[in-house]
Amino acid sequence: AKVVLGDIQEAEGAAVAEALGEHAVFLHCNVTREDDVAGLVAAAVDNFGALDVMYNNAGVVGAVGPIAETPLEEWQRTLDIHLNGSFLGCKHAARVMMGQGSGSIINMASTAGLLGGQGPHAYATCKHGMIGLTKNVAIELGKYGIRANCIAPGSMATTMVAQLISGDPNDIEGTKARLARFSPLNGRPGLAEDVANAALWLASDESGYTSGMTLTTDAGVTAGAGSANGGFDEYAPFIAEAGKRGLED
Name the strand (E) or helix (H) holding 157: strand 156-157
Q: Taking Cα atoms as reference points, which of 151, 173, 144, 145 lies closest to residue 161?
A: 173
Q: What is the Cα–Cα distance from 108 to 87, expressed in whole angstroms? A: 12
Q: Note the residue count of the chain.
A: 249
Torsion angle (degrees, nearest 10) of CA 5, 190, 229, 62: -10
Assess whether 235 carries a catalytic annotation. no
Catalytic residue of the set 86, 110, 207, 211: 110
Assess whether 110 carries a catalytic annotation. yes
Q: What is the Cα–Cα distance from 195 to 224, expressed in whole angstroms? A: 20
Torsion angle (degrees, nearest 10) of CA 202, 95, 141, 152: 40
Q: Taking Cα atoms as reference points, which of 91, 71, 94 lies closest to residue 83?
A: 91
Q: What is the Cα–Cα distance from 78 to 149, expressed in whole angstroms? A: 21
Catalytic residue of the set 123, 155, 176, 183: 123
Q: What is the Cα–Cα distance from 119 to 65, expressed in whole angstroms? A: 10
Q: What is the Cα–Cα distance from 217 to 225, expressed in whole angstroms? A: 13
**Helical segments of 167-246, H only:** 172-182, 192-203
Catalytic residue of the set 55, 86, 104, 127: 127
- 200, amino acid identity: L
Task: Report in angstroms the alpha-carbon separations of 204 from 53, 103, 131, 191.
Answer: 9, 10, 20, 21
The set of catalytic residues is: 110, 123, 127
